[in-house]
Amino acid sequence: MSQSSTRPFDDIKALVGSMPNIDLELTTSVEEKLNTVIQGLKPLGRMEQAVSWLAGWQGNKAPRIEKPLVAVFVGTHGVSKSILAEDPVENARARVKSISEGKAAVRGIATAQNAAFKVYELGVEVPCADMTTEPSLSERECAASIAFGMEVVAEGADIIVLGNAGIGSVTAAAAIARGLHGGTTDYWAGGRDKAAQLRIEAVDAAAATHKDFLNDPLEILRRFGGRDIAGMVGAILAARHQKIPVLLDGFVCCAAAAVLHKLDGTSLDHCFAAHITTEPAHGALLDRIGKKPLLDLGIGIGDGSGAALVLSMIKSAIAGNEVL
């Protein structure tokens, strides 16, 4: 990142302002070819959109998925201490161990797709500050986490599945969604169990603490989000600059995407909403960022599992179209 910037966020905003665009001519060409199959009866339905989208970003009229990456971001949030009975650091360690050793579904699905798999740990051992009383991160910490997330493109992937398995991340994501789009706390952090009620109370407290600092999406990110969510912002932004398509998974992942969408309404053109989870307000957030999910599988976690399954569908759709 530039050393001449007076504020760390200036560099991030400059990157948002210089994003490359999709090859619309190529996208249209692929769509037209697909529409000639079986006299325009659209045998692939909405999958045709996914195929032409992939072609436009890859710059290839015959798109391929040969080096997929499933990237799962994990961090710990100080706010979780007041919501979860377990120690957040121990909980995060256990979750990373489960994902890394293949016990979690997302790892098995990635393996079945011959996808590279990587867990990005951002501050697992050191939770960010409790957003109910102070900003989760300083501006410099937030910018550094965004920069760390940008390293996802170093894997050389031709498509990225993005997921999150952080501890306290759902609470942080609900606060980000409320800060970006307004509305009541129970709308974004709802639920009827005890944990949901504690989550609502935490988001309410955080909203009151930071009510005078909600004019800038990146400021909202640093005040409510942790290192893992900031890292996903960086991953999405870097993928755009490298013209790498991204499959978005659950609510937390989409909260990171929403930060960029608020900065620039076209910033997520390279992203596809793979599916909708049963997480509270995921559908509402997808509406706000203008993404229609491809599938509804009833999955209740946003760790990348659903998006990895959709990856398989897109690969199959490509393979099944000789017209390409």
Give the pLDDT band of residue 37 (cuts 50, 70, 90): low
Q: What is the pLDDT of residue 32?
A: 83
Say if 121 falls within a structural domain.
yes
Domain ranges, residue 82: 66-316
Which residues are CB-neighbours of 250 under 8 A, at least 6 positions away?
163, 164, 277, 279, 282, 299, 301, 302, 303, 306
Residues 267 and 52: their CA atoms lie apart, in Å, by 18
Residue type, 83: I
Per-residue pLDDT reduced to its tens digit, 101-137: 888 999 999 999 999 999 999 999 999 999 999 999 9
Q: Is residue 321 part of a domain?
A: no
Count of Cβ atoms closer than 10 Å to residue 87 Cβ: 15
Domain-embedded: residue 176: yes
Q: Residue 77 carries which side chain, given as an amino acid letter?
A: H
Element (H, E) at 159: strand 159-164
Q: Is residue 33 part of a domain?
A: no
In a domain, 42, yes or no: no
The verdict on residue 269 lying in a domain is: yes
CATH number of the domain within which 218 lies = 3.40.50.10210
Q: Can you give the pTM of this predicted structure?
A: 0.94
Dist. CA 192–CA 173, nearest whole Å: 18
Sheet with 68-74: strands ordered across: 116-121, 68-74, 159-164, 246-248, 271-273
Q: Distance between CA atoms of 12 and 291, rounded to whole angstroms?
A: 23
CA distance 289 to 268: 8
Provide the domain count of the chain: 1
